[in-house]
Structure 1
């Protein structure tokens, strides 16, 4: 790239973390190479894969020698692996790409164009996504769209701190983030089992988010993904969520924000109870009492948690039987 082009086209760093995603890995990497934006660096971190991913990455790297590759001999966790890439990244903007997701054509150029137009403290540009299964079949959008492909609902933008406490409305892999903001926050919190809720809480308190109304990413849903593990008794997701809720509590400043957090805490009291992580359910209850007294439903669940009422087996059978859309309302 010429020095002039580098000045007018800010670099974008795509950090792709992989753990045993051999079947999808090359498609994810190729989706970055095929972008029409000129200034993209691709950093790939393999997190101790045992399925032949390393050999596939090395082969891909031979055909695309500008890729920077980090090989971890053991799985260091998603957040630590991402931070390894962040330490090498030189782009003004960052994309966190899972090795089973796909960037659609034009995504980077469109998000950069919006970022460069924004005024004020914007840290994230996010968009709509289409969900695909293991075969690549598209089965729904993150936000339902009309005939023109626009989201039917009004998607929050600007100051979204309260909104991210109310619901998971952002499709994580659609985000483009400012590198200086990630560095200011110290990257992802390596003590946690996942990254997105914590990043949203810490960044949205200080910065704004902008929504780009277009499907720009294919998000793959596979059996055994993090979202399906929250019902397992030995999962670490709920303990991480408690830590993030405590961070959110420290950052709330208005009654509406505290109320939004209380709603989130009530949800995770139920999730911890269903997973038979009774101590965590009670800790969520203690945090809730700093905002409000538990209502009847939460009170009963907390009392059953004190009794270690066995519920996980029944609940997991229910999840297998119940349609996904219905079960999502209960978890």
Structure 2
């Protein structure tokens, strides 16, 4: 490792990505940056993924391979990968996505212009279908933060495309990696890391993010979804991190949003958790008192939400 080219570790997470795996791994191997460590972690795939990985290992012995031994989920699988890595910077890469050739070089160059307090460099992304057809660009819908201090913004809204992030190693060391009790990592990582590290937006497309056809009609708020239960846990963590009134207002906005959507999708238990956290923050608007009462009675208004989205979209 040199000062000019610090080592970058790309942790490639695979679970049943056989259809997309060759394109994903080829995009990692095609990086123009000269000092990369590639760690492929398979989370007990049941398709042909491991056979494909073994073929790549034969032709590219510089790749490192880890099998989780049993299906552990993204958070635990990634933690195995980054803890086995040596890089000064780390990329969490899902092997159904694609990296553009100059991605690593461009993000390292950006990091080297920033101070050590910057923990994450994130970028724009292109969304593609299963068949690699263009859908849209992330920046067309989500505007980046205007400041490097993003703690309030990551509480209040979604704006970072997760697979575009390059992360300074110190961030993972301080956080202890991802929280393995959660069903997904992004929101929790943003909240915990943004409390202590700055974020920088690089206004270029570095990544193609796959939007699977099978998941287009699925809702984050599908009844019983473990993702929503994880959001409850993250919101509980946020309360202990708040320091300013701006942050508390962002938190209230988040709780209102989550409570509404949980209730109108008949996730009554999770909705009650959000309503309860909102009440702990002080005066609750009348509408949310009313919604909490309806939620306690388990009055199902999912049809209202469906009509709203039909009209809106």
Q: Is the 8 A contact 1:96 1:173 kept in 2?
A: yes
Aligned length: 313
Q: Is the 8 A contact 1:15 1:42 kept in 2?
A: yes
Q: Distance in 1 between matches of 2:144 and 2:227?
A: 29
The equivalent position to 1:236 in structure 2, one of 198, 219, 226, is 226
Residue 211 of structure 1: aligned partner: 201
Residue 263 of structure 1: aligned partner: 253
Determine whether 1:185 maps to 2:207. no
Residue 163 of structure 2: aligned partner: 173
Residue 148 of structure 1: aligned partner: none
Deviates more, 1:241-250 or 1:268-277: 268-277
1:299–1:207 CA distance, 2 compared to 1 (3 A): same
Q: Is the 8 A contact 1:129 1:174 kept in 2?
A: yes
Q: How much has 1:16 moved relative to structure 2?
A: 1.1
1:198–1:65 CA distance, 2 compared to 1 (3 A): same
Determine whether 1:38 maps to 2:28. no
Q: Give 3-state SS (helix, strand or coil) of 1:117's partner.
A: coil
The equivalent position to 1:283 in structure 2, one of 262, 273, 276, is 273
Q: Is the 8 A contact 1:231 1:274 kept in 2?
A: no
Q: Distance in 2 between matches of 1:227 and 1:254?
A: 38
Residue 61 of structure 2: aligned partner: 65
Residue 130 of structure 2: aligned partner: 134
Q: Distance in 1 between matches of 2:216 and 2:241?
A: 26
Q: How much has 1:226 moved relative to structure 2?
A: 9.9
Q: Distance in 2 between matches of 1:175 and 1:154?
A: 13
Q: Is the 8 A contact 1:231 1:316 kept in 2?
A: no
1:226–1:20 CA distance, 2 compared to 1 (3 A): farther
The equivalent position to 1:322 in structure 2, one of 297, 310, 313, is 310
Q: How much has 1:229 moved relative to structure 2?
A: 4.2
Q: Distance in 2 between matches of 1:143 and 1:248?
A: 26
Q: Is the 8 A contact 1:46 1:72 kept in 2?
A: yes
The equivalent position to 1:272 in structure 2, one of 239, 262, 265, is 262
Residue 287 of structure 2: aligned partner: 297
1:70–1:311 CA distance, 2 compared to 1 (3 A): farther
Q: Distance in 2 between matches of 1:318 and 1:82?
A: 39
Q: Distance in 2 between matches of 1:286 and 1:226?
A: 31
Q: Distance in 1 between matches of 2:250 and 2:271?
A: 18
Q: Is the 8 A contact 2:157 2:254 kept in 1?
A: yes
Q: How much has 1:234 moved relative to structure 2?
A: 1.6
Q: Please, what TM-score do these two structures have when normalized by structure 2?
A: 0.94
Residue 197 of structure 1: aligned partner: 187
Q: Please, what TM-score do these two structures have when normalized by structure 1?
A: 0.89
Q: How much has 1:181 moved relative to structure 2?
A: 1.4
Q: Is the 8 A contact 2:129 2:213 kept in 1?
A: no
1:200–1:15 CA distance, 2 compared to 1 (3 A): same
Q: Is the 8 A contact 1:262 1:292 kept in 2?
A: no
Task: Could you tell me which runs of 5 or more consecutive residues in structure 2 were left unpaired when the two chains were aligned.
Answer: none
1:205–1:132 CA distance, 2 compared to 1 (3 A): same
Q: What are the Cα deviations for residues 180-214 of structure 1, in whole angstroms up to 9, with x where unaligned?
A: 21011000000001001101110101110011110
